[in-house]
Amino acid sequence: MLGFDADLYQRVIGGAGALRSQIDAIVDEVAATGYDSIFLIGSGGSYAAMWPYEHLMTRLSTVPVRSAIAAELVLTGDPRLTERSIAIFSSLSGTTKETVAALEYCRERGVTTIALTGYADSPIAVADHVLVNWADDETASESVDIQLLLLTTALLHRRGEFDDYERLANELADLTSVLTRVQEQADPIAEAFAKKHVETDYHFLVGTGMLWGFTYNYSMCILEEMQWLRTTRVHGAEFFHGSLELIDRDTSLLLFVGEDETRPLMDRVLRFAETYNDDTTVVDTADYPLDGISPEFREFVGPIVVDAITIRFSKHLEAARRHDLTTRRYYRKVEY
C-alpha cells in the first residue's frame, strides 16, 4: 500500500495496546485517592480526539466529564476543576504551548494530571502520570485513541459502570493485523476518491457520536492543515439547521457513519444526500470486518477504525495532489 510501513505500524499500534498494565496501575491509584470530576484537555486535533471519550463517559457514567480547549480553560477557569479532579492531556510532541500551559495551570491547583505523549522527556511528561508511545503524525490518532479508550473504560470499570473492561482490554491488546486489513480494504476506495477529487478544493464533512470528534479533526487537521483544502464540518444532528443549504449536486460530501446509538442521525443525512447530492462518499465502520472485536465493542473502536481508513485517503490525496502532508505555511512557522 502507498506509504505504508508495516514495521512502524506494528510499533505504534502494538505499543499503545501494551500500555494496558500501566494504565491499570494509574487508574488503581487515582481510584484509591478518589475524584469528583474528569477533564479531557487538548489543543487542535488532540482536543478533538477527546470528544469520543467525553461522549462515552457521559453516556455510561454519573461522574461529571468535560472536554476543554487548553488555551480557553486557562483564561476562563472552571469551578469544578479542583484538587478532587483528574485532568487528562494529550500531545504527541508534548510541546504544544497551550497544552503545556494548561497542564501547569492544573498542577498549580492540585489537580491529578495524566499525560499522553510520544516522548518521555517532553514538556508534558511532568504530569503526575505519563503514558509514552512513540508515533508519527500519520499514526498518532490510532495511538491516542487506543490509549484513551483503555483509560476511560478502565476508569468506568473501577467505578462499577463498565463490567466488560477486561474483555475489551484483551481485545485491544494488539490491533495491528485488524487495522492493517481495514487499510487494505479502504485503499482502493481512497485511491478512487483522491483521483476524482484531485482538483476539488472544498469538502463538506458530517459525523455524529463517537465519530464527531474525528470528523472535526479530519476536516481541520488533515484536509485544511495538511492539504490546504477548504472544508465545512458539521454534526449530523445540526446538518438540517442551515448547513444543508450549502449542498449542491456537485458538492463533495464526506459522511462518517459509526455504529453507536447516533447512527439514525447519519441515516437521515444520507437520505438527504441520496436525493440532493451526486458526490457523496460514505465511510461506514459497519462495512469493515473486525476479527477479534466483539460486536458490542464495535461502536467503541469506531474512531480507531476511521483513523485507519482515512490514512489511506490522506496518503492518496498527498500523491494525487502532489502536496506533501508535512508542508506548512504558518503552523509552527510563524509567530501566532
Q: What cell does 24 get?
A: 491499570
> Do 6-171 and 177-321 fold alike per CATH?
yes
Confidence of residue 151 (pLDDT cuts 50, 70, 90): very high
User: What mean pLDDT do residues 257-281 have?
Assistant: 98
| pTM over the 0.95 mark | yes
Using the predicted structure, report yes or no on whether residue 336 has a pLDDT greater than 90.
no
User: What mean pLDDT do residues 200-208 have?
Assistant: 98
- Placement of cell 481495514 in the chain: 182
Give me the pLDDT at residue 139, please. 95
Using the predicted structure, report yes or no on whether residue 133 has a pLDDT greater than 90.
yes
Give me the pLDDT at residue 333, please. 85
Give me the pLDDT at residue 39, please. 98
Confidence of residue 67 (pLDDT cuts 50, 70, 90): very high
Instruction: For the beta carbon of residue 4, count every other beta carbon within 10 angstroms.
Output: 15
Task: Indicate the angle between helix axes 20-33 and 140-158, nearest 10 degrees.
Answer: 40
Instruction: For the beta carbon of residue 333, count every other beta carbon within 10 angstroms.
Output: 8
**Rounded (to 5) percent helix, strand, coil in the chain:** 50, 15, 35
Q: Where are the domains of the chain?
A: 6-171, 177-321
Give me the pLDDT at residue 60, please. 97
Pick the CATH number of 177-321 from 3.40.50.10490, 3.40.50.2300, 3.20.20.120, 3.40.50.11540: 3.40.50.10490
- Which candidate, 188, 184, 171, places its Cα nearest to that of 9? 184
Confidence of residue 33 (pLDDT cuts 50, 70, 90): very high
Give me the pLDDT at residue 191, please. 98
What burial letters (b/e) apply to 162-197, b meaning 16+ CB within 10 Å? Answer: beebeebbebbebbbebbbebbeebbebbbebbeeb
Instruction: For the beta carbon of residue 245, count every other beta carbon within 10 angstroms.
Output: 8
Architecture of domain 6-171: 3-Layer(aba) Sandwich (3.40)
User: What mean pLDDT do residues 59-82 have?
Assistant: 98
User: What mean pLDDT do residues 147-163 have?
Assistant: 98
Confidence of residue 181 (pLDDT cuts 50, 70, 90): very high
| Rounded Cα distance, 24 and 18, in Å | 11
Using the predicted structure, report yes or no on whether residue 56 has a pLDDT greater than 90.
yes
Using the predicted structure, report yes or no on whether residue 94 has a pLDDT greater than 90.
yes
Average pLDDT, the chain: 97
Query: pLDDT tens digit string along 295-335?
Result: 999 999 999 999 999 999 999 999 999 999 999 999 888 98
User: What mean pLDDT do residues 199-208 have?
Assistant: 98
Specify the long-range contacts of residues 280-284, CB closer than 8 Å, at least 24 apart: 280/253, 280/254, 280/255, 281/193, 281/252, 281/253, 281/254, 281/255, 282/255, 282/257, 283/254, 283/255, 283/256, 283/257, 283/309, 283/310, 284/257
Proportion of the chain above pLDDT 90, given as a percent: 98
